[in-house]
Amino acid sequence: VLRATKARKRRVQTAAAEFNRKPGKGTGALVRAGILAEGAAPVEVAAALRATAAIDKAALGEFLSLPDPKEGPPFHKETLDAFVSGFDFAAYRIDEALRIFLQAFRLPGEAQKIDRVMEAFAGAYYHANPDPFYHQDACYVLAFSIIMLNTDLHSTKIAAENKMTLPSFWRQAEGINGSTDLPQEMLTTIYHAIKGDEIRMLGGGEEA
């Protein structure tokens, strides 16, 4: 039993290393290691990615944000949605949920990939917390605004006098919630939470 356990551990480590080198072809390595079955459903892939600790956070972010081909099933989108649905955001304010979410993987650098990931986050957050949002698009825009605020307030490249103020953050959120504005009290709480505690993005190989 011990020998079999060690052998499986080596297979998992080898598969994770291959996944980390080439995330786009990573599921093949997981299949060969016996972590995934051939033709596994997106929900099964998402569960395996969560369970395989040796997968690098940067590689995970790259895989989750991959586009689907124009023709064929939306495998990557469904895998991303399944991965995001594994979080329980119901008890969290949106900035708190975003903080937890961004500790699970490294957000990729390419704009289109970030967009896919944030769209999935917004959908999951809205599903868990529809109030006070008019639509998930409001969650999406606010989540991006929070990331921008985080960068602005904590970047050493931005002079103190040029950093975003609370009234500026309020103005940035005007009109994003359908025909109504988001509660100013909520936006104020978010602003001070981000100002007091930076959301630290994971780097390659960095653990939460």
First and final CA of the chain: distance in angstroms?
Answer: 31
Residue of 38, 44, 78, 110 marked active site: 110
Question: Residue 54 carries which DSSP code?
Answer: T
Question: Residue 112 carries which DSSP code?
Answer: H
Nearest to 141 by CA among 113, 173, 166, 111: 173
Active site (annotated) includes residue 110:
yes
**Residue 116, strand partner residues:** none
- Which residue type, as a one-letter code, is found at position 160? A
Do 64 and 113 form a contact (C-beta atoms < 8 A)?
no
CA distance 97 to 147: 12
Task: Report the SS3 class of residue 21.
Answer: helix
CA distance 73 to 71: 7
Residues that are catalytic: 110
